[in-house]
């Protein structure tokens, strides 16, 4: 992708990204590191399988060692321990990106897309409130608005992510914490590829119905996260940014 013709400097800041071993989460960690942030990545993948991921982040930012944590954010304990561990090892958390996601049954979908982001937000709230600043970004999906097809538990729980974003935005704004969301669609990742035999099949299916005549890639979403972490977005509060190449509104 073309370089961004504007400098956002996040040096000295710490970003915690959940579901960061691959896909949108990994791309977000790489881009925030490129902008100077120290990044803390969380996922369910064992630490020994993450060495290449961490190496890709060291290439983006030689001044800040990335940290990897392996906690399940869908449980209150996992979320609490994760925030404690990141604060212990990185000293602060400026940005929380609730990105972990699954296509699973009803209970798990609800736990990962709604309860987990709530547990995470509550666990980091006091720390951010003490400084009077912080950003929380929840990754939802356009499925929340369209209903999607065949995966009601995904669409409904992502609707919960949007409502949670509004609740947290309203509740945390007086503390100096801005909460916003992103609703992506058609981003090439393992989650999307699981439904297609190869990339060509994915392109054949989607490109004709995409107004911008291309699908999305993880960095398309990472760039919006970067914007939401920057001062450029300091007047956004409780917003859900639809990022789908125009498909939902003008497709």
Query: Binding ligand NAD by CB under 6 A: which of 14, 39, 42, 242?
Result: 42
CA distances from 179 to 12, 148, 196, 200 (A): 21, 25, 34, 37
Pick between residue 156 and residue 187 the one whose CB is nearest to ligand NAD: 187
What b-and-e string marks burial along 9-47, b requiring 16 or more CB atoms within 10 Å of the CB?
ebeebbbbbbbbbbbbbbbbbbbbbbbbbbbbbbbebee
Closest contact distance (angstroms) between CB of 59 and ligand NAD is 20
Nearest to 184 by CA among 154, 148, 140: 140
What whole-number distance in Å separates Cα of residue 48 and Cα of residue 66?
A: 14
Place of tokens 């992708």: 1
Query: Binding ligand NAD by CB under 6 A: which of 139, 144, 179, 224?
Result: 139
- The answer to whether 6 is a known catalytic residue is no
- Considering only residues 48 to 107 of the shown chain, the ones binding ligand NAD according to CB under 6 A are 72-74, 99-102
Closest contact distance (angstroms) between CB of 246 and ligand NAD is 15
What whole-number distance in Å separates Cα of residue 174 and Cα of residue 34?
A: 30
Closest contact distance (angstroms) between CB of 42 and ligand NAD is 6
Pick between residue 43 and residue 94 the one whose CB is nearest to ligand NAD: 43
Task: Please report, as ranges, the residues that interact with ligand NAD according to CB under 6 A.
Answer: 18-19, 21-25, 42-44, 72-74, 99-102, 112, 116, 139, 141, 184-187, 189-192
């Amino acid at each position: 992708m073309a370089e961004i013709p504007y400098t956002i400097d996040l040096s000295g800041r710490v970003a915690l990204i959940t579901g960061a071993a691959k896909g949108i989460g990994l791309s977000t960690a790489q881009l925030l590191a490129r902008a100077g942030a120290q990044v803390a990545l969380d996922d369910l993948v064992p630490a020994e399988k993450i060495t290449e991921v961490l190496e890709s982040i060291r290439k983006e930012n030689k001044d800040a060692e990335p940290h990897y944590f392996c906690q399940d954010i869908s449980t209150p304990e996992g979320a609490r321990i994760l925030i404690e561990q990141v604060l212990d090892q990185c000293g602060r958390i400026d940005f929380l990106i609730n990105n972990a996601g699954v296509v699973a049954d009803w209970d798990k979908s609800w736990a990962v897309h709604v309860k987990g982001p709530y547990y995470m937000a509550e666990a980091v709230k006091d720390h951010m409130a003490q400084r009077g600043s912080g950003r929380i970004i929840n990754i939802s999906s356009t499925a929340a608005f369209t209903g999607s097809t065949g995966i009601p538990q995904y669409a409904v729980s992502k609707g919960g992510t949007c409502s949670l974003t509004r609740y947290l935005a309203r509740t945390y704004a007086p503390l100096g914490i801005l909460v916003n969301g992103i609703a992506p669609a058609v981003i090439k990742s393992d989650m999307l590829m699981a439904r297609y035999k190869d990339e060509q099949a994915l392109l054949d299916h989607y490109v004709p119905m995409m107004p911008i005549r291309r699908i999305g890639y993880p960095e398309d979403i990472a760039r919006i996260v970067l914007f939401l972490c920057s001062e450029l977005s300091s007047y956004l509060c409780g917003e859900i940014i639809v990022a789908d190449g125009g498909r939902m509104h003008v497709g």
